[in-house]
């Protein structure tokens, strides 16, 4: 089945540690996105990538880093510089070909990060 | 950042009733989308309406768009307990010199009582 796989589903981190969240898609989608969701808040865009080896900062990129070495993969690293990393992280993707700007997103199931 | 704002923040109805949720946004858009999120899960796309459309239907869902008021509504008819979830509107607008991207509102929590 085609889809987006995020791992791990739950992750605990000690303060000062970097952690990497995995996002893999087999939908042949061009663009991939990372969102952060906090209770009572909407989704806030961290980073996005529309092509391999290129990515752009979203609205809350500070303390995060990404890479896009393969079309299928878009891992997110939460660094120790992120002051409040406890949140639910969502990865999404979309095809840009012939979309006429529609940008309908397919989401993964999410990764919940808790800093101890 | 520009953001859609949903109204109400929470809605509780009886099974079989209709649920109406509203979304307002700030600038001109290319399209507006509604997503659903079950607790602790990812979002699922429900329906998209383009800026030149006024109404769309999909099963028990009806979406309207009023670009003059910069607002949209999502109607779920004959609600079921399984409709209990959070619903988000997302707007697509064009950044200067860049491809479009989605901006999400804070969501509406819908509870459908059996």
Q: Which residues pair with A20 in a beta bridge?
A: A77
pLDDT digits (tens, 9 = 90+) for B35-44: 999 999 999 9
**Are residues A76 and A60 in contact, defined by beta-carbon separation less than 8 angstroms?**
no
Interface contact flag, A92 B43, Cβ < 8 Å:
yes
- Label residue A12 left, alpha or beta by phi (over 0 means left) and psi (-120 to 50 means alpha): beta
Which of A37, A111, A114 is most worth mutating to test chain B (most B CB atoms within 10 A of its CB)? Answer: A37
pLDDT of residue B27: 86
pLDDT top residue among B17 and A1: B17
CA distance B104 to A90: 13
Nearest CA in chain B to A32: B101
The alpha carbon of residue A2 is apart from the nearest alpha carbon of chain B, in Å, by 14
CA distance A6 to A28: 16
pLDDT digits (tens, 9 = 90+) for A47-95: 999 999 999 999 999 999 999 999 999 999 999 888 899 999 999 999 8
Q: Which residues pair with A108 in a beta bridge?
A: none
Report the run of H or E that residue B87 belongs to, with start and end.
strand B85-93
Q: Which residues pair with A93 in a beta bridge?
A: A32, A106
**Are residues B80 and B60 in contact, defined by beta-carbon separation less than 8 angstroms?**
no
- At residue B3, the 3 state secondary structure works out as coil
- Is the CA virtual torsion A109, A60, B27, B93 positive or negative? negative
Helix residue spans in B1-114 (DSSP H): none
pLDDT of residue B98: 44
Question: Given pLDDT bands bounded at 50, 70 and 90, which one contains residue B100?
Answer: low
- Label residue B101 left, alpha or beta by phi (over 0 means left) and psi (-120 to 50 means alpha): beta
Interface of B with A (CB under 8 A): 1, 3, 30-31, 33, 35, 40-45, 48, 88, 90, 92, 94, 98-107
**Are residues B87 and B21 in contact, defined by beta-carbon separation less than 8 angstroms?**
yes
Q: Which residues pair with B45 in a beta bridge?
A: B35
Asked if the model's pLDDT at residue B97 lies above 50, the reply is no
Residue (of B91, B63, B90, B89) closest to B76 by Cα position:
B63
Nearest CA in chain A to B4: A42
Interface contact flag, A103 B94, Cβ < 8 Å:
no
pLDDT mean across residues, chain B: 90
Instruction: Taking residues B25-34, report their average pLDDT.
Output: 90
**Are residues B100 and B93 in contact, defined by beta-carbon separation less than 8 angstroms?**
yes
Burial class from Cβ neighbours inside 10 Å (0-12, 13-18, 19+) for residue B22 reads middle
CA distance B97 to A66: 22
The alpha carbon of residue A17 is apart from the nearest alpha carbon of chain B, in Å, by 24
pLDDT of residue B28: 86
């Amino acid at each position: 089945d085609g889809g987006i796989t995020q791992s791990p589903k739950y992750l605990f981190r000690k303060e000062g540690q970097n952690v990497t969240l995995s996002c893999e898609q087999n939908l042949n989608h061009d663009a991939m996105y990372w969102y952060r969701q906090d209770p009572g808040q909407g989704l806030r865009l961290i980073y996005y990538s529309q092509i391999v080896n290129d990515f752009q900062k979203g609205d809350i990129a500070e303390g995060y880093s990404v890479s896009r070495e393969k079309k299928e993969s878009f891992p997110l690293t939460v660094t120790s510089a992120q002051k409040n990393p406890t949140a639910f992280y969502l990865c999404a993707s979309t095809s840009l070909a012939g979309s006429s700007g529609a940008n309908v997103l397919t989401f993964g199931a999410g990764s919940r990060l808790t800093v101890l | 950042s520009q953001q859609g704002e949903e109204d109400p923040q929470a809605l509780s109805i009886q099974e079989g009733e209709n649920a109406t949720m509203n979304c307002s946004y700030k600038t001109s858009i290319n399209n507006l989308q509604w997503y659903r999120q079950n607790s602790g899960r990812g979002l699922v796309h429900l329906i998209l309406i383009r800026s030149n459309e006024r109404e769309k239907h999909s099963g028990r869902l009806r979406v309207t768009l009023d670009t003059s008021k910069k607002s949209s509504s999502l109607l779920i008819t004959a609600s079921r307990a399984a409709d209990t979830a959070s619903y988000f509107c997302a707007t697509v607008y064009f950044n200067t010199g860049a491809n479009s991207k989605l901006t999400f509102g804070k969501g509406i929590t819908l509870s459908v009582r059996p």
